[in-house]
Structure 1
Amino acid sequence: MAAPRGAAGPWGRALLVLLAAQAVALSRGPGEDDAPEEWLLLHVVQGQIGAGNYSYLRLGHEGKIVLRMRSLRGDADLYVSDSTLHPSFDDYELQSATCGPDTVSIPAHFRRPVGIGIYGHPSHSESDFEMKVYLDRTEDQYPSSEAAYSEGGDPKQARAPEEGPQEEESILWTILISILKLVLEILF
């Protein structure tokens, strides 16, 4: 006789606990403890954004700035520009639109104020986010990327090396969420 749907054996519960622990560990993403010592925390911004809407911020700090944003609930994406104070997914210089933590490094040569757009992905009715703003006091490790941008190169090509790990992280999240949904559907 088969067990009724929703009744989980000890192995099913153990698998659920393991997957939930991994999901929690991955959802934490890079935290303040992961920031290099050379980074100075300037601000912590928390907010909420509705689906399909933008919230805009202005950055006036000089120097190389790193924005690290994590979605506490939902999925918020980050768009940055030094040519408009209202960047969007159609008009931006730098962006991070992952299903996990989003990070953007703003070069020191960007004109100030820099426009920052936070977009609430339509897959969630509301998204809560926390963004940490750091001043990066290290020497530039990738001068060729900024040189390509400042010499009129395509800024989207200049940041291509950074997109690989974010894309891999997004795929990992998609797989993990799919597995978790499948396990929950089987158990309940």
Structure 2
Amino acid sequence: MLLRWSKLFAVLFLSQAVCFLQSSEEEAIPDEWVLLHVVQGHIGAGNYSYLRLNHDGKIILHMQSLKGDADLYVSDKTLRPSFDIYKLQSATCGPDVVVVPLDFLRPVGIAIYGHPSHQESEFEMRVYYDQTVLEDPFVKASYFSEETGKQKKYPQVSEEEIQEEESVLWTILIGILKIVLEILF
């Protein structure tokens, strides 16, 4: 009887080991993708780390949480996206992948968020450029100014606008907190 259980346990253990090894193999990256950057870092629970993407074209952000659980938020409207304000996101417990389309205005704001379920998260993000996507010449033409004869600049977000956005959020948060405290006490 003990021999049967040990054989059953060995088969179960080997099947789990094979499954683990297959899941840990790195996904195949197409030859058309060019590696632009590799970003590694640590992020504390509930905190953000911000990056800025200036590169044109279709960009693939492929992030792997090496320890803990880091999530990815992307926006072309703000340089400080969050889990409340974003255009694209990937918040999985495994690999996080976001494809930034070529029609996103540059610079693109990227936020890496340390999920509160872990004290600290360690991540590695690979930034790829997809060469297979040909840029549409008519899209570029729409950014051409007929008045000046020059290409229009993409809108830039200043640090002052970012500070103002944070100030408004803090004002609202403090107002809500005051109302809650008045109700309780």
TM-score range normalised by the length of the shorter chain: 0.5 to 0.7
Alpha-carbon RMSD across the aligned residues, in angstroms, is: 2.0
> Where do 5+ consecutive residues of structure 2 fail to align?
135-185
Normalising by structure 1, we get a TM-score of 0.65
Letter of the 1:44 counterpart: V
Q: Is the 8 A contact 2:58 2:133 kept in 1?
A: no
Regions of 4+ moved over 2 Å: 8-11, 27-30
Mapped partners of 1:77, 1:64: distance in 2: 20
Given candidates 12, 15, 26, the residue that maps to 2:12 is: 15
Letter of the 1:103 counterpart: V
Deviations along 1:44-63, one digit per CA (max 9) or x if unpaired, are: 11111111111110111111
- Alignment coverage as a number of residue pairs: 133
Q: Is the 8 A contact 2:81 2:111 kept in 1?
A: yes
Normalising by structure 2, we get a TM-score of 0.66
Given candidates 79, 88, 98, the residue that maps to 1:85 is: 79
In structure 2, relative to structure 1, the CA distance for the partners of 1:25 and 1:127 (3 Å cut) is farther
CA shift at 1:132, angstroms? 0.4
Q: Is the 8 A contact 1:27 1:100 kept in 2?
A: no
Mapped partners of 2:85, 2:120: distance in 1: 23
State which structure, 1 or 2, has the greater radius of gyration over its C-alpha atoms: 2
Mapped partners of 2:7, 2:45: distance in 1: 39
Deviations along 1:81-133, one digit per CA (max 9) or x if unpaired, are: 00111111100000011111111110111111100000111111111111100
> Where do 5+ consecutive residues of structure 1 fail to align?
141-188
User: How do 1:158-169 residues align onto structure 2 when only pairs under 5 Å count?
Assistant: none
Higher-RCO chain (CA-CA 8 Å, sequence separation at least 6): 1
The answer for the alignment partner of 1:144 in structure 2 is none
The answer for the alignment partner of 2:137 in structure 1 is none
Letter of the 2:9 counterpart: G
